[in-house]
Amino acid sequence: MSHTAEELLIVNLADMLRGDRHVAVGAASPIPGAAALLAKAEATHRMQVSILHSRRHNPFTEGARELFDAAGQGRIDTFFLGGVQIDGQANINLVGLGDYPNTTKRFPGSFGSALMYFAVPRVILFREEHSPRTLVEKVDFVSAPGTSAPEVWRRGGPSALVTGKAVFSFDAATGRFRLESVHDGETPETVAAATGFAFDTAPEVAETPAPAPDRLARLRAEVAPRVATFYPEFAARVWGFAA
């Protein structure tokens, strides 16, 4: 059974969520949202998924404030973060390009990224575009730092970076990413050429596992219709749902 690039990412992100009790997903995140719902559908234990972009899957009545409270109280296991720029130390930039405050281009802003990066035990960085302009040597502005000094309280931080080309793990002790797998059609060399920062490489870089037919069928039959209710354009493009 053939799969799309988006379905490859969804299934592999879902694998990272096994064992979690509460996964939270922010706005504009259809692939992480679908992954969280797939992980919940496959879980053998009670699992809560909170998706801010969805009315059905959003238990919070006061929006982000309750999300931040839950994170601060240690009630969220995993959260997803992205960035206009992500660098080799797992710093993310959501503010703008150029020397702040004289940025040449502004973006929505950091919002609660810094709090979530510190308060949630595990953060998965996600960015479909994998290019030197998005994965840079050093971000122009640090919206949220990937590592902190030992005396700074921090419950968690980045554990992985998943892109349209590869999967990296992150070592907080060294402050570096390590290439773990490459997607079909990619090699460690092509990934390195598309990455603006240096990274370590696993002794054996595997090919990112393709979705098993039964999981792909479940994704399309059970999860995709739910995603279509809060990300209709994404569902129409990937699964052919009427927008």
DSSP per residue over 21-58, as a string?
SEEEE-SS-HHHHHHHHHHHHH-SS--EEEETT-STT-
- pLDDT of 58 higher than 90: no
Tally of structural domains, the chain: 1
What are residue 189's phi and psi, to 5 degrees? -70, -45
pTM given for the model: 0.95
- The answer as to whether 183 is a domain residue is no
Q: Is residue 3 situated within a structural domain?
A: yes
Give the pLDDT band (50/70/90) at residue 64: confident
241 versus 202: the higher-pLDDT residue is 202
Q: Report yes or no: 120 and 79 within 8 Å, Cβ to Cβ.
A: yes
In a domain, 222, yes or no: yes
Range with the poorest average pLDDT among 80-84, 151-155, 239-243:
239-243
Q: Please check the confidence at residue 243 and state whether its pLDDT lies above 70.
A: no
Strand 78-81 and strand 22-25: pairing? parallel
Lowest mean pLDDT among 63-67, 128-132, 172-176: 63-67
Q: What is the pLDDT of residues 25-56, one digit of tens each?
A: 998 899 999 999 999 999 999 999 999 888 88
Domain range for residue 43?
A: 1-81+212-243
Q: Please tell me the distance from the alpha carbon of residue 222 to that of residue 10, in angstroms, as a whole number.
A: 14
Q: What is the mean pLDDT of the chain?
A: 95
